[in-house]
């Protein structure tokens, strides 16, 4: 069996792998659901929904496999982009991991502001006249909408100096 490196992994191969995982997850749901009471005198028991959801997941994944298998031989689309585009994917994934950490430390507003100011400069090389208003709207505007209109509290800064500023 020929081994495939991440750089030569094609999109249908990735889809096929995901579909196999979904079939296994569906099988696990069905197996666990069958161990519970399927139906009782009040209606569906604890095993009813896991059995049906797992079964539907298996059926949908099997149906989705048909076009994926037929496309497997013809598709040349790579999952991981070749050449200079590859670093953009790495920067995006790393920056999302840093943002996830920074939101807890520096609060939503400041972390998203810094993220939205740096990523477009690093990846897209957009002009500042576009980046700055977009970053302000994405950080402070989104925070205003979430906290005022939707009444959802967003993470605040852990540092006293930043918390005193309302960040």
Question: What are the residue boundaries of the structural domains of the chain, listed by start?
Answer: 6-72, 83-164
Among the listed residues 106, 121, 97, 120, the one whose alpha carbon sits nearest the alpha carbon of residue 156: 106
Among the listed residues 100, 141, 91, 137, the one whose alpha carbon sits nearest the alpha carbon of residue 118: 91
Look at residue 92 in the predicted model and tell me its pLDDT: 84
**Residue 3: pLDDT over 70:** no
Question: Residue 88 has which token pair?
Answer: 């953009």
Mean pLDDT of 75-103: 78
Chain-wide mean pLDDT for the chain? 83
Dist. CA 29–CA 87, nearest whole Å: 38
Look at residue 77 in the predicted model and tell me its pLDDT: 63
Query: Which of residues 83 and 155 earns the better pLDDT score?
Result: 155
Q: What is the pLDDT of residues 114-129, one digit of tens each?
A: 999 988 887 777 888 9
SS3 for 10?
A: strand
**Of the given ranges (8-22, 75-89, 96-110, 149-163), which has the lowest mean pLDDT?**
75-89
Confidence of residue 75 (pLDDT cuts 50, 70, 90): low
């Amino acid at each position: 069996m020929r081994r495939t490196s991440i750089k030569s992994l094609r999109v249908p191969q990735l889809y096929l792998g995901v579909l196999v995982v979904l079939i296994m997850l569906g099988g696990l749901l069905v197996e666990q659901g069958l161990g519970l009471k399927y139906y009782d005198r009040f209606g569906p028991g604890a095993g009813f929904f896991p059995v049906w959801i797992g079964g539907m997941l298996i059926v949908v994944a099997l149906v989705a496999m048909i076009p994926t298998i037929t496309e497997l031989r013809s598709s040349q689309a790579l999952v991981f982009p070749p050449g200079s585009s590859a670093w953009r994917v790495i920067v995006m994934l790393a920056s999302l991991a840093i943002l996830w950490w920074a939101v807890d430390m520096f609060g939503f507003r400041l972390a998203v502001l810094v993220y939205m100011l740096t990523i477009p400069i690093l990846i897209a090389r957009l002009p500042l006249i576009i980046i700055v208003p977009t970053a302000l709207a994405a950080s402070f505007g989104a925070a205003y909408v979430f906290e005022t209109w939707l009444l959802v509290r967003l993470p605040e800064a852990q540092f006293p100096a930043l918390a005193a500023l309302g960040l």
